[in-house]
A and B are shown apart, each in its own frame.
Chain A
Amino acid sequence: MLSTLLLDAATNGANIGIGYGLGAVGAGLAAVGAGLGIGRIGGSALESIARQPEVAGDIRSNMILAAALVEGAAFFAMVIGLLAILTK
């Protein structure tokens, strides 16, 4: 039954084709990935600061660097999702 539903969406949904929906789903999955990654980074950074408060500045810079790199990967997927929606 799910397959007939999907088939109908793919063929008859001319304006809201399945490509658009899947593009949005892909971008959403990228957000999940980014959330997981940055959550782990933030968590371990907080733990380390709790253990050794003197090096909080060092840890903070490294945390921000790692978070930006992980976000870069998430933005890759977001850009591809955007491409799926915007290109005809």
Chain B
Amino acid sequence: MMKISKLSLILILTFLAFTVAFSISNHAQEAQPSNLPASHEMQAESTSTESTKPAEKLNAGKVIMEHIADSHGWHLWGHTEIPLPVIIYSKERGLVTFMSSEFKHGHMAYEGFKLEEGKVVAVNETAPVPAEETSVNEEITAGMFDISITKNVMSLFISIGLMLLIFTNVAGAYTRKRKGLAPTGLQNAIEPIILFVRDEVIKPGIGEKKFEKYVPYLLTVFFFIWISNLMGLIPVFPGGANLTGNIAVTMTLAIFTFIIVSVSANKGYWLHIFAMPGVPKPILILLTPIEILGVFLRPFVLMIRLFANITAGHIIGLAFFCLIFIFGENGTGIGLAVSPLSLVFTVFMTTLELLVAFLQAYVFTMLSAVYIGAAVEEPHHEKH
């Protein structure tokens, strides 16, 4: 007979209890406004079933896309939402700022703006009227700058704050608090990671002589991507925002790498691109456009790799979780039966996503180091 320890028994029972509770609450919400208990074991992404209509058919694709995309308020559970500032600048109306709670979940227009599919558009009516009775003002919408603090921006600030907290602490441990002593605590945890990135990723990529200049940037990029990926995996506030799955954010990181590579490149690098030495003229005509394309393609691929990896991971986790509700619509029995399976899959995918979070940070940093290394490489004296 297999001996199950007491702890395992407690864990298994808690697991089952959450599963059953979730499946039952799914059935119950058909009659009442949706207020799913936020279980911290599962990705507590609640479905957006309307409270006014009974049992509106679940559009899983829409729910998943709503969680992947940016939004103007930070949705917590049910209808509870943390309102975030909406800041819009347009030539006609100047700088307009208000909290996103004025939109009343997209039902009201406010100060001449309303929410349409998660985005703010300008409308002709400036008085607060219900959103259905407004007409979109295309001109202002096209020319306005939406610089609101959205969920992704808020998550960016949280990641930055977390990084500042961790690294000022660790740096202080080296310079002020425990100078010259053996590392302990947070310093002890971060130091091997920093040394690993510096010695195994940056130094081999760039070379012994010139790597020190680029260590701050590459370490920042590594930790920023890793911490943002991890925050995206936590389902509750302050985590749960899909920051690195936002292509604008990854594009910015790739542009930084591109700028640093281009600025620090020496003559040999540009020579290799525009006129690779030791290549006969006819092949050079073919090779040079490809090389020029490569200069722009490499940061582009960096951007796409990080964006697609993280977004795909979130979509998969959400899709497995939505399976419960899709099956639950056809019958609570099937919903209940699918729940443990879906839970196991979601937990497995989230564990994989933990690995992916670190791996993507590692790959981005390593490729940036390799590109920088190629740019600052001393020319070998080749004999042809």
Contacts and interface: CB of A to CB of B under 8 A. Distances in A.
Interface of A: 61, 64-65, 68, 71-72, 75-76, 78-79
Interface of A is mostly: helix
Given A61-B200, A65-B363, A71 B309 contact: yes
Interface in B338-379: 359-360, 362-363, 366
B308 interface: yes
A68 B363 contact: yes
B315 to A, nearest CB: 9
5 contacts: A75-B309, A76-B301, A78-B308, A78-B312, A79-B307
Contacts of B309: 71, 75
A64 B355 CA distance: 12
Contacts of B362: 64
B304 interface: yes
B359 A75 contact: no
Contact of A79 (B308, B359, B360): B308
B200 A72 contact: no
B200 A68 contact: no
Nearest to A85: B61
Interface of B is mostly: helix
Interface residues of B, number: 13
A64 B307 CA distance: 18
Interface string B284-310: 000000000000000001001101110
Contacts of A79: 304, 307-308
**Which of B301, B305, B307 has the largest count of A CB atoms less than 10 A from its CB?**
B305
Contacts of B359: 64, 68
Given A71-B309, A78-B312, A65 B366 contact: yes
B200 A71 contact: no
Given A64-B359, A65-B363, A72 B305 contact: yes
B127 to A, nearest CB: 32
A72 B304 contact: yes
Interface in B301-329: 301, 304-305, 307-309, 312
Contacts of B304: 72, 75-76, 79
B305 A68 contact: yes
A64 B361 CA distance: 12
A82 to B, nearest CB: 9
A75 B305 contact: yes
Contacts of A61: 200
Contacts of B312: 75, 78
A76 B301 CA distance: 8
Contacts of A72: 301, 304-305
Nearest to A78: B308
A14 to B, nearest CB: 17
